[in-house]
Amino acid sequence: MWSAALVGGLLSTAVCERAPAQQASHGATLAYFATSGDRDTLLHRPAPVAGTRTGRPNSSGLIGELAFLPWLNTRFALQYVAYARFNGSHDDYDGFGRSASDNNTLYLLAWLVF
Amino acid sequence: MRTRILATGIALGVLAAGATLQQRSAIAANGVTVNAHTIHREVIPSFSRQTGLACNQCHTTFPQLTAFGRRFKLNGYTLTRLQMVEAGDTANRSLKINLIPPVSAMVQASMSQTRKAQPGAQNGNVELPQEMSIFLGEEITPRVGTFLQFTYSAADASFGFDNADIRYANQGKLGSKELIYGFSLNNNPTVQDLWNTTSAWGFPWASSEVAPTPAAATLIEGGLAQQVAGLGAYAMWDNHVYGEFSVYRSAPQGGPHPPDASAENTLRGVAPYWRAALQHSWGSQYVELGTYGLSTRLYPAGVTGSTDRYTDVALDAQYERKVGKGSITGHTTWINETEKLEASVAAGAATNPSNTLKTFKIDGSYYNAGRVGLTVSYFTTSGDADALRYAGSATGSPNSNGVVGEVDFLPWLNTRFTLQYVAYGKFDGARKAYDGVRNASDNNTLYLLTWLVF
């Protein structure tokens, strides 16, 4: 969650810099991520949700985020994480029937700093 | 001493944006007559530090709120005269935070003596602290304020997240009358309430943590405190009509995250909470009449299968009156809980598929000019007998009642010394041998408290 939030933070900072005295900032962030590596059926084993059927560590997906900062120290975010691949595959990635897209996540956040 | 404070037409948040505190006081002077020494519980010197106002502007005696205190809360804790860090133009601040955050603290030291010791336990229990809290209460934007409490308790021997109430407030007009409206994000149904009739800020302001207490209580009396998160919208129209609607969802401190088969008392979906109240002041008197309630579906264990359904519907009233240099305050509430216990019956934790539980509480206080006060309270809870649900009772009855008498002395506005006595007429269903052996009066409790906030 922290890393995902940080992605949004970096891009929205650019929005803020454009108009420092602006009352509110809005931002849209799009991110793509991919992790891939060697197949290892002992290191990466089947297990519900956290495991992998194929022994591959490959995951990829998109994060879309809308952020609203009504004041400089308040952030409201609506984030969606969509996985194309999760722990090696798109369908039945864990060997227990779970699809990568079952882990797609809607995330609402109110973040206040003071 | 009676102080005239509080604007009728212009809300504090608006005033806070532009006017100096003197200007605000001048504008406020055409308003409502407010008793300058009364009580309330979210008294925290954070707000005193932020506003430059003494505790008695917002509290009769802490934690009871005055009309000004209710208005300060209604306006999202936004009124400040501290040095601020600001950005943006005056009308549209993009940042407005206190240069130095107004942190405050609370320490309670107490002694509890029950009439008879609890079996196998020492009597005359002393706690230092009973509770020690740190508060972050402050304006964090021109329209958002926080009340965040972190509490260490001797019983838990740990420091944890306690009450939280984060508010946004704004002002407008509706039918040419003032409308103050806002949102509250909080973790305890009734912690956002403006009155001292509801559980979070109701009497007793403090009580023993070690003395036995009756087994049965309605859910809205703290049953979900700090275990849920709620978001609600509220509005006060013409300083007379208040309405609020919130929804709560489980947000437990500790335990499995997300809640799973090992979770307890998890809400299914969201639980609606409502509140409506009318208030009126005339001369040196003030009265509030209201209703509030909560409807929940709870999984007693796990997060699947059948649920227990609790519906709490309550009425409440508050009265305040200035008497010479002292004041009289009174609070009462009646709560009717309907319980549909499908899950508990299936789990063998209840006998009846449906039960009702009714609670009635009333308290009255007189405080003199020297802040010496006397409070008397009566409470009663009654409901259907259920041998499995109330297994600690020999009769299976949840019925309890009693009186609380309390003498208080506040030598300064931020220090409270309390001598309290709780006497039970009935405890968990009976006067005599309620658990087979122990009498209700054996749980009568003498409670001494020193309560400092600073």
Mean pLDDT over B251-260 rounds to 94
Average pLDDT, chain B: 90
What phi and psi values does residue A89 have, to the nearest 5 degrees?
-155, 170
Q: Alpha-carbon torsion A106, A112, B10, B327, what sign?
A: positive
Low-confidence ranges of chain A (pLDDT < 70): 1-24
Q: How far apart are CA A21 and CA B51, in angstroms?
A: 26
pLDDT tens by residue, B86-118: 999 888 899 999 999 999 999 999 999 999 999
Q: How far apart are CA B320 and CA B329, in angstroms?
A: 4
Among B195, B168, B152, residue whose Cα is nearest residue B292? B195
Instruction: Give B264→chain A minimum CA distance, Å.
Output: 23
For residue B4, what pLDDT is reported?
32
Among B251, B252, B383, residue whose Cα is nearest residue B312? B383
Among B77, B129, B137, residue whose Cα is nearest residue B106? B129
B415 confidence band (pLDDT: 50, 70, 90):
very high
Q: Do A20 and B87 touch (CB under 8 A)?
A: yes
Q: Which of A21, A112, A114 sits opposite B88 (nearest CB)?
A: A21
Q: Indicate the length of chain A as a whole number.
A: 114
For residue B89, what pLDDT is reported?
87
Contact yes or no for B51/B28 (Cβ under 8 A): no
For residue B43, what pLDDT is reported?
59
Using only C-alpha atoms, what is the Rg of chain B? 22
B15 confidence band (pLDDT: 50, 70, 90):
very low
For residue B248, what pLDDT is reported?
98
For residue B92, what pLDDT is reported?
86
Residues of B in contact with A110 (CB under 8 A): 185
Instruction: Give B228→chain A minimum CA distance, Å.
Output: 16
What phi and psi values does residue A17 have, to the nearest 5 degrees?
-65, -25
Residue with tokens 């009566």: B378
Q: Which of A23, A74, A114 sits opposite B92 (nearest CB)?
A: A23
For residue A23, what pLDDT is reported?
58
Among B5, B16, B11, residue whose Cα is nearest residue B86? B16
Residue B71: strand pairing partners: none
Residues of B in contact with A24 (CB under 8 A): 94
Residues of B in contact with A21 (CB under 8 A): 87-89, 94
Q: Which of B30-34, B142-146, B224-228, B259-263 has the lowest mean pLDDT?
A: B30-34
Q: How far apart are CA B293 and CA B337, in angstroms?
A: 9
**Any CB–CB contact under 8 A between A72 and chain B?**
yes
Q: How far apart are CA A27 and CA A78, in angstroms?
A: 11
Cis peptide before B258 (omega within 30 of 0): yes
Q: Which of A22, A110, A114 sits opposite B94 (nearest CB)?
A: A22
Q: Which of A20, A71, A110 sits opposite B141 (nearest CB)?
A: A71
Q: How far apart are CA B149 and CA B45, in angstroms?
A: 12
Residues of A in contact with B96 (CB under 8 A): 71
Cis peptide before A46 (omega within 30 of 0): no
- For residue B117, the 8-state DSSP code is P
Instruction: Indicate if the pLDDT at residue B39 is higher than 90.
Output: no
A 10 A CB-CB count for B121 gives 9
For residue B10, what pLDDT is reported?
30
Domain range list for chain A: 17-112
Q: Which of B94, B97, B142 sits opposite A114 (nearest CB)?
A: B97
pLDDT tens by residue, B374-388: 999 999 999 999 999
What phi and psi values does residue B426 have, to the nearest 5 degrees?
-145, 140
**Any CB–CB contact under 8 A between A112 and chain B?**
yes
Instruction: Indicate if the pLDDT at residue B311 is higher than 90.
Output: yes
The pairing of beta strand B84-88 with beta strand B33-35:
unpaired
Q: Do B93 and A22 touch (CB under 8 A)?
A: no
Q: How far apart are CA B215 and CA A28, in angstroms?
A: 52
For residue B81, what pLDDT is reported?
86
Mean pLDDT over B31-55 rounds to 61
pTM for the model: 0.87
**Any CB–CB contact under 8 A between A105 and chain B?**
no
Whole-number percent of chain B with pLDDT over 70: 91
Q: Do B97 and A110 touch (CB under 8 A)?
A: no
Contact yes or no for A98/A92 (Cβ under 8 A): yes
Contact yes or no for B37/B61 (Cβ under 8 A): yes
Residues of A in contact with B93 (CB under 8 A): 23, 71
